Structure 1
Amino acid sequence: MADRPPPTVAPRASRRARLPSFVRLPMLLILNICLQSALWTGAENVLSHELGAVSKVPRPGQEQEGLGELTEPIVRLVSKIALVSVAWELRYDYFDIGALTAVINIPFAFLLTTFYNISLLTAAAYVAIEVISIALPTYLLRPIADINNPAVPIRNRYLLNSFQVSWSNTALAVGVYATVLYSSLQTNWLTIFLINHFDLPSVELAHDVQAVTFIPKLLTAGYATKAFLLDPAIGAQPDTGAVTPVGPFEPATATLPQTLKHNFWFFSRRTRTLIQRSVVLSTFLLANTVLRGATLEGSEIAGSAGYAGVWILAANICAAWFVWTGDAEP
């Protein structure tokens, strides 16, 4: 009797993969909205109504500044759909989208605690609810990315697992945020700018702030920035399998996309990953901060956009530094 080769066992598809993408994406959005609503309902039973005290209250016959009463919920829903869709298209897993959500919501939390006398507990609950409500459904519907899965071997796994690399770069990001924000407050230009565009109840906390007190507020922002920007850059690697050889660039025969890529997109894979994620982070930092700022009494869109610019500057300084610290190309 002839020997037969052992049967090939096909890997069992995960439960996430059994659902088609066009079903999982709407499910993710619906779960996000429902879970967010449920978490806020539960939090309201524990927290005081601090956010309601500083939020805009529509008054009959009074023209509302910024976004209209009916326009604001629609714009916020469109922004949420855009965030979920972009994250899905770029294949962000629960850790990626959780880190991104944390970074884009911390500026609003910082504004509340520094200028609106909102407690750290309420601000922390706000950020936690935003992160959990998007990260948990993503975990259920999206496979874990290779860089966040310890079972998947990648070339620079030792760097991702390094405590020294992780926390030194987290400290770097915290230091960048603290330096940018502290210098902005100490020179008073940020405070004056916000006074001109927001109806601030008090600036006492902003005047009395110390650089050391920034660390607890910015630790999450620093770690999330490192996780969203640096870790994927370190883990970026060429696709497995045979690689088609690329000949030298010929200007005379090159197409327009090839010419643009040769002149403007010649970076390493890690640098391209950092650039792409920095653009995503900056875009949603601006959009989310403007939309959240529009909910505050007496706020102006220009003020929210300018305030977001401070955080975008700090985030991109971190990204520029990570280009060097994350460059492990041979």
Structure 2
Amino acid sequence: MASHVPLLAVRPDEQSAFDTDMVKTRDFGATNGLMSPPSTMDDDFAEGPEAPMLPRVPPATRLPAAVRFPLVVLLSLSLSTLFYSLTADWIGVELAAISRTVEDEWQVGTVVAWKLAELSVAWYAGYDYKDLASLSCLSNLPYYFLLHTFYELHGLTCATALAIDMASIALPFALLRPLIHAHEPGRSPNQQVAHDPTISALMAVLGAAIYAVVVYGSLFTWLPAHLVFHFDHIRSVQHAHDATLHLLLGILIVPVGVATTHFLFTPAIGARGNPGITDPKLKPEAVRFDPEEASFAQTMAFNLGYGPDGFTKRGEVLAKRAAVLVACSAGNTLVRVLTTIDGTEPVGAVAWAGVWGLAATLTALAYGWAGNE
């Protein structure tokens, strides 16, 4: 079955670069001379032969593994402190005006524990700096969107704070972790599809449109009244009433569209060992579904229409990343809203986080459909 993504087939003038027999073996991934870091959550499925070209590897990745993760944590916390200190006179005043006084030990502990949890998941899942920049953007954007829409913080203030959050977590990974296979430009059909500019642009628009529709639908109906009732110090709902679908799409298309494409679509399509999406006759090995012998995951996958052999490699990568994105978006929003914004209630924070979690879920499903999952 052909993929739903427009222009997914490799261009005809590039088809000659591939050997037909090699394509039909499903060994589309190349190690590029470097094995991906071990991961229990987001495997690159290293099954293919090595390519003659070596990727660019940050020198710091040669440090022992036991040293690199503590360095990531130290660098991330230090960069965050440094950047916020340098911009304190600019954005600190606005942020402090709406901030809750953090004095209790549980508040400080919750923030630090969540930061460590984010870094730990990202490190042991094998993510690179592109993954982390995208995940940080999608996880922190709901918080700053709330501050701008309902607390009247200047858009430039929110954008600067968001950039600091992204840089403080992405830069350490850029120094200490090489790019994953899917983010490396390569010659395999799947990599060329994943990095095709037209396809990436279409997927960015799709992801941003889904987020815009979900957020706009919530702002247009129930959400403002719900937040006013459960957030004591909301300054205005004028921005929420003035929001239009076109405005939201224009605002979200760059950060959200690019981030969802880099975090969800590109890794799912470009991961090693994927079944080839450029050959409509190529399918995973068929395995007769036996409900008595099948695992829970296989049964769930079969009931969702993924086939008798369960999830494909592409579907597995997408499902894992979607789960991480929803958990981080909702979890980070809850933690930051409840611990830093004065006058917030858990019911209101859950509602706001749920809107963005729903948008992430629908985007992942749309990318699954586009990738023929």
CA contact (8 A) 2:194 2:266 kept: yes
What 5-or-longer segments of structure 2 have no aligned partner? 1-53, 276-284, 302-309
Give 3-state SS (helix, strand or coil) of 2:369's partner.
helix
Matched residues in 2 for 1:172 and 1:239: separation?
Answer: 23
The corresponding residue for 2:300 is 264
Matches within 5 A, 1:193-208: 193-199=226-232, 200-208=234-242
What value does the CA root-mean-square deviation take over the aligned residues? Answer: 2.4
The corresponding residue for 1:192 is 225
Give 3-state SS (helix, strand or coil) of 1:202's partner.
coil
The corresponding residue for 2:334 is 290
Aligned residues: 299
Match of 2:243 among 209, 212, 234: 209
Q: What displacement does 1:238 show?
A: 1.4
The corresponding residue for 2:178 is 143
Matches within 5 A, 1:52-201: 52-57=96-101, 69-150=104-185, 152-187=186-221, 189-199=222-232, 200-201=234-235
Report the more deviating stretch, 45-54 or 282-291: 45-54
What 5-or-longer segments of structure 1 have no aligned partner? 1-10, 59-67
Matched residues in 1 for 2:86 and 2:240: separation?
Answer: 31
CA contact (8 A) 2:58 2:176 kept: no
CA contact (8 A) 1:98 1:131 kept: yes
Q: C-alpha offsets along residues 221-280 of structure 1, whole Å, 9 cap, x if unaligned?
A: 22211211111111123189xxxx99867777x5xxx63343235111111111111110
The corresponding residue for 2:86 is 42
Matches within 5 A, 1:238-253: 238=273
Q: Structure 1 residues 239, 114: closer, same or farther in 2, change over 3 A?
A: closer
Matched residues in 2 for 1:174 and 1:13: separation?
Answer: 32
Q: Structure 1 residues 251, 118: closer, same or farther in 2, change over 3 A?
A: closer
CA contact (8 A) 1:110 1:217 kept: no
Matched residues in 2 for 1:251 and 1:103: separation?
Answer: 38
Match of 1:231 among 252, 263, 266: 266
Q: What displacement does 1:161 show?
A: 2.4
The corresponding residue for 1:62 is none
Give 3-state SS (helix, strand or coil) of 1:275's partner.
helix
Matched residues in 1 for 2:216 and 2:297: separation?
Answer: 39
Matched residues in 1 for 2:120 and 2:141: separation?
Answer: 21
Q: What displacement does 1:18 show?
A: 2.3
CA contact (8 A) 2:60 2:176 kept: yes
CA contact (8 A) 2:150 2:236 kept: yes
Matched residues in 2 for 1:101 and 1:130: separation?
Answer: 7
CA contact (8 A) 2:211 2:356 kept: yes
Please give the TM-score of this superposition, normalised by the length of structure 1: 0.84
Q: What displacement does 1:216 show?
A: 4.0
Matched residues in 2 for 1:239 and 1:163: separation?
Answer: 20
The corresponding residue for 2:64 is 20
**Does residue 301 of structure 1 match 2:335?**
no
Q: What displacement does 1:106 show?
A: 0.4
Q: What displacement does 1:77 show?
A: 1.0
Matched residues in 2 for 1:19 and 1:205: separation?
Answer: 49
Q: What displacement does 1:13 show?
A: 8.2
CA contact (8 A) 1:108 1:293 kept: yes
Larger Rg: 1
CA contact (8 A) 1:96 1:228 kept: yes
Q: What displacement does 1:305 show?
A: 1.5
Please give the TM-score of this superposition, normalised by the length of structure 2: 0.75
Matched residues in 2 for 1:309 and 1:264: separation?
Answer: 24
Q: What displacement does 1:196 show?
A: 1.5
CA contact (8 A) 1:147 1:154 kept: no
CA contact (8 A) 1:16 1:143 kept: no
Matched residues in 2 for 1:237 and 1:113: separation?
Answer: 41
Matched residues in 2 for 1:207 and 1:95: separation?
Answer: 34
Report the more deviating stretch, 259-268 or 176-185: 259-268
Q: Structure 1 residues 75, 235: closer, same or farther in 2, change over 3 A?
A: same
Matched residues in 1 for 2:246 and 2:92: separation?
Answer: 27
